[in-house]
Amino acid sequence: MKHPRRASRDPLKGAAPGARQSRLPGAPGSSALLGWHSKALWFLLALAALVVASFWSLDLQWREFLSLDAARSMGRFLGEFFPPDTSPEFLRRVVQGTWETLAMSALGTGLAAVAGLALALPASRRGDGGASWARGPTRLLLNALRSIPELVWAALLLISAGLGPFAGTLALAFHTAGVLGRLFAEAIENAPPGPAAALRVQGVGGARVFFYATLPQVLPQLLSYTLYRWENNIRAAAVLGVVGAGGLGQMLAFHMGLFHMGKTATILGAMLLMVALVDAASHGARRWMTR
């Protein structure tokens, strides 16, 4: 005699195939899929509420901005930029300021890359570069370095370094070291652990494991991050001159403050051309390295 409970072990036996398949975890309409859709819906609703609250809390005067008087004032202001100043003496100064801005960004990025790599080793969770007790303080230092904007760093360093490109270079280096240190640490953590583990089994020390196993794997990514930050530092170096940190930014602040609009137009054109050329060169170099 069959046990009376054995016949009811599979309640869906004999039912339609669709009824049995619809209860599988990965089937359409399952609870997991509904849960994901629910989370996405709540996220979109929260984002929409934040946008609505932003419009409600900010005093956005769209009527004045889109008025005819505002358009006329903007047209008169833009008309003062033409014609740009193309005198040989002024162009020579613009070229000198452009070179100064490039040098500030390149030197600041280079110093930041070295400091960021040195800080990324103890900040990462890999055991190649340092002790675990240094991870917390190093990450806190990286957060502090990148939390302070370049303009604030430049304003602080002007007290000790004085006016000129030296303060701007140090400001770029301090802020970018915090950014690159965090990116480098994540790249080191995400490196495949196999080669490093094979060297540790052979008794190789931590520093040699990093230089011979981890660094060759992450070097293209580190260079790509560095070039990308150099692109950003070009723009930042052009703005740092507003606080007296040298380069094209200092010339821009000076001539715009005196309402020399022709000279201001020339400086802005030099900035746009410099940023476009550096972006194109950096993008090409990053694509070549990551192929």
pTM for this structure? 0.70
Name the pLDDT band for 23 (thresholds 50, 70, 90).
very low
Same domain, 180 and 126: yes
The residue type found at 274 is M
pLDDT of 124-144, one tens digit each?
A: 876 554 556 778 888 899 999
| Percent helix, percent strand, percent coil in the chain, to nearest 5 | 80, 0, 20
pLDDT of the residue at 21: 45
In this predicted structure, the answer to whether residue 33 has a pLDDT above a threshold of 60 is no
Name the pLDDT band for 290 (thresholds 50, 70, 90).
low
Same domain, 203 and 254: yes
Q: What CATH number should be reported for the domain holding residue 196?
A: 1.10.3720.10
In this predicted structure, the answer to whether residue 31 has a pLDDT above a threshold of 80 is no
Query: Which is more confident, 252 or 162?
Result: 252
Instruction: For helices 247-257 and 88-123, give the axis angle rounded to 10 degrees.
Output: 130
Provide long-range contacts, Cβ within 8 A and 24+ apart, for 277-286: 278/102, 278/230, 278/231, 278/234, 279/231, 282/227, 282/228, 282/230, 282/231, 285/227, 286/223, 286/224, 286/227, 286/228
Same domain, 106 and 38: no
Domain assignment of residue 32, given as a range: 21-57
pLDDT of the residue at 32: 54
Q: Are 139 and 203 in contact (CB under 8 A)?
A: no
Q: Could you say which DSSP state residue 84 is in?
A: P
User: Structure tokens of 44?
Assistant: 């979109």
Same domain, 220 and 265: yes
In this predicted structure, the answer to whether residue 229 has a pLDDT above a threshold of 80 is yes
| Maximum mean pLDDT: which of 20-24, 139-143, 282-286 | 139-143
The residue type found at 128 is D
Same domain, 195 and 236: yes
How many domains, the chain? 2
pLDDT of 159-203, one tens digit each?
A: 887 777 888 899 999 999 999 999 999 888 888 777 777 877 777
Same domain, 36 and 170: no
In this predicted structure, the answer to whether residue 228 has a pLDDT above a threshold of 80 is yes
